[in-house]
Amino acid sequence: MPSQPPLDAPDRGARAAPAGSPAGEAAGPAPLAGPAHPTRLAAGGSRTGDLAAASGSTAATLRPLVLAGLMAGLTAVLSYLRIPLPFTPVPITGQTLGVMLSGLLLGPRWGFAAQLAYLLLGVAGVPVFAGGAAGLAVVLGPTGGFLLSYPLAAGLTGLLFRPGTARRPGPASGGEGARGGPRTTAQAAQPARDQAASPVRAPGFGRAFVASVAGGILLVYAIGAPWLAVETGTPWPGVATAAVLPFVPGDLAKALVAAWLAPRVLRALGGRLAPGT
């Protein structure tokens, strides 16, 4: 007699029961067809978000570097606005206007960097100092104290001005997105972009003027005048008469220009030009 197949062996030749038959109803509804490669699709979306986040991070890094270079160039251009005076080796120049604007527009960190780049260009031999002068000898000369004060002056100006940024209410904190799934890199970076793009109104003329006077005038004189006295052997009263008092009216005029211009530029462009400072 032929052997009987085991009772629990599947019938390999059996056909699927019709949907309306009792067997079909007992088997339950057929599963819905899903995406062919859900893991691959999710990986592709995550990769796109990572690339977008990396691109935004690169732009955010390069922007303040470019702006610092532009402000260094502006200071170099303003240095050619030079009016020599017969009674002092210190000429009237437009350099301190560039110092004030660097701090007001870029903030303390990048304002400092802009003026440091300006000094390094001059030391390297690029004719960016007053009247087209250049070289280390200029920085070590009688007026070197004024030049060396510029990075600190721009930093102090930006520190005293410091327009802030408003924060938009973003998604709830945590590791899940709006539908309960894991958040992508782009979604995680969105609140930071919203905050950076939501500036409050920049401080106005009065605060900009005070910051410009404190950083672009008082600190510059506090470093430059003693340096000049030591280098030339001039007593303090003589330094004040020859290298400080004659320049105060012009410096105040430059502070007025910077204080009038900077808040308008910031409001027109939506906030500090170098975010995160």
Could you tell me if 99 and 216 are in contact, meaning their C-beta atoms sit under 8 angstroms apart?
A: yes
- Number of domains making up the chain: 1
Give the structural domain span for 237. 67-166+199-277
Tell me the percentage of the chain whose pLDDT exceeds 70: 63
Q: Is there a domain that residue 112 lies in?
A: yes
pLDDT score, position 243: 87
φ, ψ for residue 51, nearest 5 deg = -65, -40
Looking at residue 85, which CATH number applies to its domain?
1.10.1760.20
Q: Is there a domain that residue 172 lies in?
A: no
Q: Is there a domain that residue 12 lies in?
A: no
Grouping H, G, I as helix, E, B as strand and the rest as coil, residue 227 is helix
Could you tell me if 262 and 95 are in contact, meaning their C-beta atoms sit under 8 angstroms apart?
A: no
pLDDT score, position 171: 47
B/e letters for 122-136, b = 16+ CB within 10 Å, e = fewer, are bbeeeebbbeebbee
pLDDT band at 162 (very low <50, low <70, confident <90, very high): confident
Q: Which of 203, 127, 131 is nearest to 165 (CA)?
A: 203
pLDDT digits (tens, 9 = 90+) for 19-50: 555 554 545 555 555 555 555 555 555 666 56
Q: Is there a domain that residue 48 lies in?
A: no
The string of DSSP codes covering 167-212 is ----SPSSSB-TTSSBPPHHHHHHHHHHHHT-B-PPP-HHHHHHHH
Q: Is there a domain that residue 15 lies in?
A: no
Q: Is there a domain that residue 47 lies in?
A: no
Q: Is there a domain that residue 184 lies in?
A: no
Q: Is there a domain that residue 14 lies in?
A: no
Could you tell me if 231 and 141 are in contact, meaning their C-beta atoms sit under 8 angstroms apart?
A: yes
The better pLDDT of the pair 262, 60 is held by 262
**Mean pLDDT of all residues in 235-248:** 90
Q: How far apart are the first and last CA of the chain?
A: 93
